[in-house]
Amino acid sequence: MSDPDAFATLDTIQEPPGGPAAVATGAGRTLAGDAWETLRSSWVFWSSCTLIVILVVMAAFPGLFTHVDPASCQAARARISPSAHAWFGYDVQGCDVYARTIYGARASMVVGLIATLTAMIIGSAVGVYAGFFGGVVDALLSRLTDIFFAIPLLLGSIIILTSIPTPAGSAFFSILKVSAALAVLGWTSTARVARSSVIQVKQADFVSASRALGASRTWMIRKHILPNAAAPIIVITTISLGSYIGAEATLSYLGIGLQPPVISWGIAINDAAAYVRSTPHMLFFPALFLSLTVLAFISLGDVVREALDPKAM
């Protein structure tokens, strides 16, 4: 399947000579450079990046988007439909849906970030060790990965989250608990990807050369293995950031994820689900923001993967 490369050459030919693309096709052509050339011209890449930047700003400074306090709720205006005064209407408690949707970005982002980073660290450590050392270490670590891999994410997190009691009113602990549950069950896919790409890199000539020159194992892993095996790990991390945000919302929707002092899209959807027939707006807006967030991260991971490896799905 060499067609994407063929398309890429066509594109570079159409560029005026001496442009940045022509430089990239020269002798100093790298995988990252190639990928950047592909990404630069992709509208999916730019729109998901824009969306992610907006969401990050929203999570960091929700006050920029709304002056309404998400905690000021009046039962008198419960379930009022969207109007010019409140764009997204009011929810069951009479809180402003727009304000709560804006403030909900933070919980999703924080859970996604903590879970992804933890899963990435555990997963790449296990994967790199298993792949690099091989033999008994590999066999043991791979079986350990298999054991965790066999437990479905949702099922496992339900078991973990219902087993650990949450002290009421502690937003921080609630967020930490959900992130930990997702990371404990989610690291396996990173480990598998890291392991297979390390095994691929390990066989390269420059690694043998480095070993022949007397390089230590830590040096080889740090200088040769990690940089060359990083691309697939980065891709799967981006994609899993999206799916962890979705998983958090699913758990919160089931009522066992984040707990009420936290403002979250999943909780909002859970509260609205019972009224979906009469006032669907309460469910529609948080669901829309949630889906767009997940979509942004997954499409970003998707285009980056395509740019790095045109052969993959």
Partner 1 sequence: MARYVARRILQMLPVIIGTTFLIFLMVWALPGDPFAGRCGQRPCSDAYIQAETARLHLDQSLPVQYGYFLGNMLQGDFGTVSNGDTVLHQLGRAFPITLKLTTVAIGFEIVLGIGIGIIAALRRGRFFDRLTLLTSLVAISFPVFVIGFVLQYIFGVRLGLFRVTVQSGAPWQDLIMPGFVLASLSLAFVLRLTRASLLETLNADHVRTAVAKGLPRSLVIRRHIVRNSLIPVVTYIGADVGVLLGGAIVTEGIFNIQGVGGLLYHATKLRENATVVSVATVVVLIVLFVNLLIDLFYAVLDPRIRYE
- Retrieve residue 84's tokens: 């010019």
Dist CA 27 CA 30 (whole Å): 9
The span of 49-57, 85-93, 212-220, 249-257 binding partner 1 (CB under 8 A) equals 249-257
Is residue 280 close enough to count as binding partner 1 by CB under 8 A? yes
Cβ neighbourhood burial of 311 (10 Å; 0-12, 13-18, 19+): exposed
Residue 77: CB atoms within 10 A of its CB come to 16
Least separation in angstroms between CB 295 and partner 1: 4
Within 8 A by CB and 6+ apart from 202, the residues are: 131, 132, 225
CB-CB neighbours of 11 under 10 Å: 13
Closer Cβ to partner 1, 54 or 73, answer by number: 54
If one asks whether residue 295 binds partner 1 (CB under 8 A), the answer comes out as: yes
Residue span binding partner 1 (CB under 8 A) among the ranges 33-41, 87-95, 108-116, 250-258: 250-258
State which residue, 188 or 207, has the beta carbon closest to partner 1. Answer: 188
List Cβ neighbours of 104 (8 Å cut-off, separation of 6 or more). 263, 264, 265, 268, 286, 289
Closer Cβ to partner 1, 67 or 277, answer by number: 277
Q: How many CB atoms lie within 10 A of CB 103?
A: 23
Can residue 313 be called a binding residue for partner 1 (CB under 8 A)? yes
* Alpha helices per DSSP H over 91-134: 97-133
Strands, E, within 47-186: which ranges? Answer: none
Q: Closest approach of Cβ 11 to partner 1, in Å? A: 14
Stretch that binds partner 1, among 63-71, 106-114, 118-126, 270-278 (CB under 8 A): 270-278
Q: Which of residues 125-184 bind partner 1 (CB under 8 A)?
A: 143-144, 146-148, 150-152, 154-156, 158-160, 162-165
11 binds partner 1 (CB under 8 A): no
Kindly state the smallest distance separating residue 47's Cβ from partner 1, in Å: 12
Closest CA relative to residue 271, chosen from 104, 110, 111: 104
Phi and psi, residue 96, nearest 5°:
-75, 120
> Which helix or strand (DSSP H or E) is residue 197 part of?
helix 171-202
Shorter beta-carbon distance to partner 1: residue 60 or 276:
276
Smallest gap from Cβ 125 to partner 1, in A, equals: 19
276 part of the interface to partner 1, by CB under 8 A = yes
Which lies closer to partner 1 via its Cβ, residue 207 or residue 290? 290
CB of 187 to partner 1, least distance (A): 14
**Min. distance of Cβ 199 from partner 1 in angstroms?**
19
DSSP code of 183? H
Applying CB under 8 A, the span of 69-77, 104-112, 216-224, 285-293 interacting with partner 1 comes to 285-293
Q: How far is Cα 107 from Cα 114, in angstroms, rounded to an integer?
A: 11
Choose which of 116, 174, 197, 250 interacts with partner 1 (CB under 8 A): 250
Tokens of 230: 């990083």
Asked if 157 contacts 185 with a C-beta cutoff of 8 angstroms, the reply is yes
Q: Does 67 bind partner 1 (CB under 8 A)?
A: no
Q: Computed over its alpha carbons, how large is the radius of gyration of the chain?
A: 23
The residue among 13 and 273 lying less far from partner 1, judged by its C-beta, is 273
Which residues of the chain form contacts with partner 1 (CB under 8 A)? 1-3, 143-144, 146-148, 150-152, 154-156, 158-160, 162-165, 242, 246, 249-250, 253-256, 269, 273, 276-277, 280, 283, 287, 290-291, 294-295, 298-299, 302, 312-313
